[in-house]
């Protein structure tokens, strides 16, 4: 579901997450025996069952699957917005399954970037202020933060719109701002949920090319949910989820 990775608690009480969260030499994502289900009419409906997965740092992974297959559930677990019923989830060496909800919120806010289908820009903030928001949430912004945000806007071709309100931008421009915002605080992991699903084919292709270029240049890991076979074909790895199970496809 669009926006489901971010809870209201992401926007309160600035904190600083320390370098203990940066662990070298381990996969950026590691899942072991992860299961998640929901109760419906007094009966548990399994969505994910005993998933195992590892994702190397700096790779681009696409996740395919039909509606209702558990793609959003998996992203919510990986982002720490939700906790598994069973199993272990590590992100950047941090055992999310062992953290409290608040600890997961602080980790997500500091180390993960998000690109949503419906942009999720704050309408009362300018374009530049939207980019600086991730840093404002954790600490006071610096001149270096502002310079990096402006440099990202330049990369996405919108530095001249830094003072504009989001509703003055086209859909493609808003998504380019969202891509820049996801990278502004230098996260180790970008989670993208149908990042081109609300755009026409041509505009979506340009935005996806830009997202891929930026994450590869920065060495960031991109984990993207998509229904598009064409978008998935860009990835280093293609995973598919069906019936609660995860499989890997051979690249075309």
Supply the CATH number for residue 242's domain.
Answer: 3.40.50.300
Is residue 2 one of the residues assigned to a domain? no
Question: What would the 3-class secondary structure string for 41-63 be?
Answer: CCEEEEEEEEEEEEECCCCEEEE
Measuring CA to CA, how many Å separate 5 from each of 75, 116, 139? 7, 9, 21
Is residue 3 one of the residues assigned to a domain? no
**Domain total of the chain:** 1
pTM above 0.85, yes or no: no
Close Cβ partners of 18 (under 8 Å, ≥ 6 residues apart): none
Cα–Cα distance measured from residue 165 to residue 185, given in angstroms and rounded to the nearest whole number: 21
pLDDT at residue 26 in the model: 64
pLDDT at residue 3 in the model: 43
Strand order in the sheet with 29-40: 43-55, 29-40, 86-91, 94-95
Is residue 25 one of the residues assigned to a domain? yes
Using DSSP's 3-state secondary structure scheme, residue 23 falls into: coil
Which regions in the chain score pLDDT beneath 70?
1-26, 139, 252
pLDDT at residue 12 in the model: 32
């Amino acid at each position: 579901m669009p926006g489901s990775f971010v809870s209201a608690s992401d926007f309160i009480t600035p904190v600083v997450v320390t370098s203990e969260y940066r662990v070298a030499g381990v996969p950026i994502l590691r899942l072991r025996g992860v299961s998640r289900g929901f109760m419906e009419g007094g009966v548990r409906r399994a969505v994910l069952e005993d998933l195992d997965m590892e994702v190397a740092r700096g790779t681009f992974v696409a996740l395919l699957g039909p509606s209702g297959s558990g793609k959003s559930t998996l992203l919510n677990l990986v982002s720490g917005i939700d906790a598994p019923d069973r199993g272990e989830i590590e992100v950047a060496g941090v055992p999310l399954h062992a953290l409290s909800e608040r600890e997961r919120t602080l980790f997500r806010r500091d180390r993960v970037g998000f690109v949503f289908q419906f942009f999720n820009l704050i309408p009362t903030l300018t374009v530049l202020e939207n980019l600086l928001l991730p840093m404002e949430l954790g600490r006071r912004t610096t001149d270096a933060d502002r310079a990096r945000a402006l440099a990202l806007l330049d990369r996405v071709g919108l530095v001249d719109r830094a003072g504009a309100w989001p509703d003055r931008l086209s859909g493609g421009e808003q998504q380019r701002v969202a891509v820049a915002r996801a990278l502004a605080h230098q996260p180790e992991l970008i989670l993208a949920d149908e990042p081109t699903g609300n755009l026409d084919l041509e505009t979506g292709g340009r935005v996806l090319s830009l997202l891929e270029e930026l994450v590869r240049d920065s060495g960031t890991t991109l984990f993207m949910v998509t229904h598009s076979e064409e978008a998935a074909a860009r990835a280093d790895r293609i995973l598919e989820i069906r019936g609660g199970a995860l499989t890997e496809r051979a690249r075309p």
